[in-house]
Amino acid sequence: MCGQFEQPEVRELKMILDGQNEIHRSLKKLVIKLDEVVGRQERELSLLTMISQQQMEGQPQVAPTDRQQVSNVVIIFTVQKMRF
């Protein structure tokens, strides 16, 4: 008859394990999102580096407001994608 019911210790351990599994899944999602953000930052840095090099070579310059607008759009897009 005792085998039909869980002991309180076993139930508590199962709850702890379930909580740890949920934390693990959440962390995996956060790592994926962080990788996406880092990738976007690397692309933006590459774009800004290219623009800077073009300016130094005397090619047509991009107005500072255009770069600021691009940066703002990337930041807004990144924040929106990070929301669950």
Q: What are the pLDDT digits (tens) for 63-79?
A: 555 666 666 666 666 66
Distance of CA 1 to the CA centre of its chain: 51
For the entire predicted model, the pTM comes to: 0.51
Q: What are the pLDDT digits (tens) for 20-37?
A: 999 999 999 999 999 998
Long-range contacts of 55-62 (CB under 8 A, 24+ apart): none
